[in-house]
Amino acid sequence: MLKPTAIVGQLILYGAFAAFIGYFSTSPKYRQIPDDIALIKLSISHLGDRECRKRTPEELAKLPPNMRAPMECPRERSDIRLEVDFDGQPAFRTVMHPTGLYKDGVSTVYKRFELKAGQHRVAVRMNDNLIKPGFNFSKEAEITLVPGQVMVIDFNPDRGGLFFK
């Protein structure tokens, strides 16, 4: 049997613990980004291109009939080169390597950028076959960011390549 003083003591301690948890669940205010800042997230997963070549008629003749595919494509994927510029200044440069034991998986990058709210010029360029010079995907746009906004730079070949959302 508990004494009345023990019950009162437990109530006081449990109440203090609940008040402590209640206060720190709402205070101090946590801000992921400052009030005048917008966030741009770069999130891309893409399979690099393959370097296929056409077999010559002599090569095809040497192969067994069931192996005579006109194109020879290695399993390995190309690295992907990616560049991001904000307001004409380089912000991010990387070469993404394919994953997997045989380097035949996706290349992935995730990066966040905090920019002052307002108008910015964003340019993104990507080359998914480093054998070929230049960039085969690019997107450039003038954007207006509001404070607290989160914009995503993504890639989808079915939607034409790079896009902002």
First and final CA of the chain: distance in angstroms?
Answer: 65
Tally the residues of the chain: 165
Q: What is the pTM for the complete model shown?
A: 0.76
At 27, the pLDDT band (50, 70, 90 cuts) reads confident
In angstroms and rounded to an integer, the radius of gyration of the C-alpha atoms of the chain is 28
pLDDT per residue as tens digits for the range 117-141: 999 999 999 999 888 899 999 999 9
pLDDT per residue as tens digits for the range 1-18: 678 888 899 999 999 999
92 and 159 within one domain: yes
41 and 23 within one domain: no
Q: Could you tell me if residue 78 is left (phi over 0), alpha (psi between -120 and 50 degrees) or otherwise beta?
A: beta
Q: Which residue type is seen at 124? A: V
Residue 63 belongs to domain spanning: 37-164
20 and 45 within one domain: no
Q: Is the pLDDT of residue 79 over 90?
A: yes
118 and 76 within one domain: yes
At 34, the pLDDT band (50, 70, 90 cuts) reads confident
106 and 80 within one domain: yes
Rounded CA separation 152/40 (Å) = 6
Instruction: Please list the residues that pair with 40 across neighbouring strands.
Output: 113, 151
Work out the average pLDDT over 14-25.
94
Peptide bond into 64 cis (omega under 30): no
130 and 52 within one domain: yes
Give the tokens for residue 34: 């400052």
